[in-house]
A and B are shown apart, each in its own frame.
Chain A
Amino acid sequence: MSLLFRQVSGELGAVWPAVLATVAFVATFVGIAVWAWRPANRQRFEEAARLPLDELPATEDGERSGA
């Protein structure tokens, strides 16, 4: 195992940080996908989707910058 590891790591050499970063980013993306599609979050995201439609009206005096 350690021999195989040394061989692989030797061949990869300076590429190791890139490999680790790629794995980390893919894992993060998969994590985000799982979080987004988790049934427990369904209600929460349905409410979030309505944010543009649930706005507060503007007050009349707030238009001018610095007003």
Chain B
Amino acid sequence: MTATHPEPAGNAEAQGRAPSSVAYDDWIVKAFVVATLLWGFVGMLVGIYIALELPFWPANLDSPYLTFGRLRPLHTNAVIFAFAGNVLFAGIYHSMQRLLKTRMFSDALSQIHFWGWQLIIVAAAITLPLGLSQGKEYAELIWPLDIAVAVIWVVFAVNFFGTIAIRKVKHLYVAIWFYMSMVLTIAMLHIVNNLALPATLTRSYPIYAGMTDALVQWWYGHNAVGFLLTTPFLGLMYYYVPKTANRPIFSYRLSIIHFWALVFLYIWTGPHHLLWSGLPDWVQTLGVVFSVMLWAPSWAGMLNGLLTLRGAWTRLRNDPMIKLWVVALTFYGMSTFEGPLMSIRDVNSLSHFTDWTVGHTHSGALGWVGMAAFASVYYIVPDIWKKKLYSRDLINLHFWLGTAGIVLYVVPLWVAGITQGLMWKDLDASGNLVHGAFMDTVRVLLPLYWLRLLGGLLYLGGLVVMIYNLVKTVRGEAAEPAAVPAPAK
């Protein structure tokens, strides 16, 4: 950002020279950042509300629209597709233009993508509380919305690959490969899992039956985690960690192995959601084996990110954005250790259907996805609004609120899950269940549910601090065009 009179790409190209500047489309990045913060707040607020309903059921106000069963899918759809989805699009539009040294292929497609995606989110926010659902986890949206998602995704894909086609650099940086895996795989998963015969405007029947339907659903469900909440966020990590630390990634070659190992292995892991079910035993074993093999690439990626900070560990003390990335990567490592562990049959027989699973997903969602999203947005906002960050102390406060919130959320649910699992397995001397009534476990878990609510409140508090900080940043003084220090070797 040191050039005082940059030369636009078009002029240089016309004269057959390499451009010295690019007219990036930053409007689309700003739009997705604003949507991220808005939907992040809404999605997490709904999460807080349903966390309250678990220990205090009268919070549903006796309204069918506010029951846990209807609001839970609203929460998961909002945080996965609205919060995480929008921050991914913001990061992808921001980083890919800069990595490929070109403007997006089509501004019109970018805008159709943005407005279409927001309309789908609004439609989901209306239909899910009304009870209009396909009843498939993370694929609850009714068939007309599924078609809308497919159309908007294709618009995004055309713009994405069009931008790659008009790039000004030969090499596709590894982050682009991670993004590409999302664009292709999510399209395939979404279309195959949502193939259905419409009966009315709001009801449909899946074309699969019984166990096949369950297998396709969890092939989709687990890979939605893999290719929406993991690989593209790793793409953001491979771009924003070097940018934040001002040094190249620890090992580019390791990042290549990380990418290919992850995409080869991830797609097979879905059956671990159906252990001890009617699914053929060999398919269950296949899911377990591939899940356990994922340990290696996942930890390779985590270490590659953390070791990028080698020689700069002192910044961990005073740079809150580095702290956010370190916590994000640490939770990536923890949750990708825990997931394969839970896929082992004997562990799964204890953990399945318990709050351990909820604790596991939230260590990934709050720890990895959330912290990586926050760190990326803290980098993007000053960069594209060209403003000084309002307060680094507030980022620090956000960091501590978020980290304390995650611990207070996840640890009680680990305890709750193992307690619940052990109580369900508890037999007396004659082989009968000691805790035959479901309410026996619920009574024991109530204090832990209150603690989890407190953790969620702290995490949401951190997001509110972030929104305040960024609003003040955007309204504040412009950043001076200071010389950027030479990056470390």
Contact = CB atoms under 8 A, between A and B. Distances in A.
Given A49-B252, A53-B243, A64-B27, A59 B6 contact: yes
Interface string B277-317: 00000000000000000000000000000000000000000
B23 interface: yes
B190 interface: no
Contacts of B21: 56-59
Interface residues of A, number: 30
A24 to B, nearest CB: 11
A45 B22 contact: no
A58 to B, nearest CB: 5
Contacts of A44: 171
A53 B24 contact: no
B253 A56 contact: no
B22 A56 contact: yes
Contact of A57 (B1, B110, B175, B249): B1
Interface residues of B, number: 46
B19 interface: yes
B2 A57 contact: yes
A52 B173 contact: yes
Given A36-B256, A65-B110, A58 B26 contact: yes
A57 B26 contact: no
Given A51-B169, A52-B173, A58-B22, A63 B239 contact: no
A53 B246 contact: yes
A53 B22 contact: no
Interface in B241-259: 242-243, 246-249, 252-253, 256-257
A48 interface: yes
B487 interface: yes
B242 A53 contact: yes
A49 to B, nearest CB: 4
A55 B20 CA distance: 9
B222 interface: no
B252 A46 contact: yes
B144 to A, nearest CB: 28
Contacts of B171: 44, 47-48, 51
Contact of A56 (B20, B249, B256): B20
Contacts of A42: 253
Given A29-B264, A48-B171, A56-B101, A63 B26 contact: yes
B283 to A, nearest CB: 12
B107 interface: yes
B260 A29 contact: yes
Interface string A34-50: 00110001101111111
B360 interface: no
B173 A48 contact: yes
B28 interface: yes
Interface in B208-252: 239, 242-243, 246-249, 252
Contacts of A59: 6, 8, 21-23
A67 B103 CA distance: 11
Nearest to B1: A57
A48 B384 CA distance: 24
A56 B264 CA distance: 34
Contacts of B25: 62-63, 65
A48 B1 CA distance: 20
Contact of B252 (A45, A62, A64): A45
Contact of B239 (A36, A46, A52, A58): A52
Contacts of A16: none
A65 B173 contact: no
B118 interface: no
Nearest to B24: A58
A61 interface: yes
A49 B261 contact: no
A53 to B, nearest CB: 4
Contacts of B127: none
Interface in B1-38: 1-3, 6, 8-9, 19-28
A45 B248 CA distance: 11
A66 interface: yes
B108 interface: yes
Contacts of A66: 107-108
A46 to B, nearest CB: 7
Contacts of A52: 95, 98-99, 173, 175, 239, 242-243, 248
B6 A57 contact: yes
B260 A62 contact: no
Given A52-B239, A59-B6, 5 more contacts: A36-B257, A45-B256, A58-B21, A58-B26, A59-B21
5 contacts: A41-B253, A46-B248, A52-B173, A52-B175, A59-B6
Interface of B: 1-3, 6, 8-9, 19-28, 95, 98-99, 101, 103, 107-108, 110-111, 169, 171, 173-175, 239, 242-243, 246-249, 252-253, 256-257, 260-261, 264, 384, 487
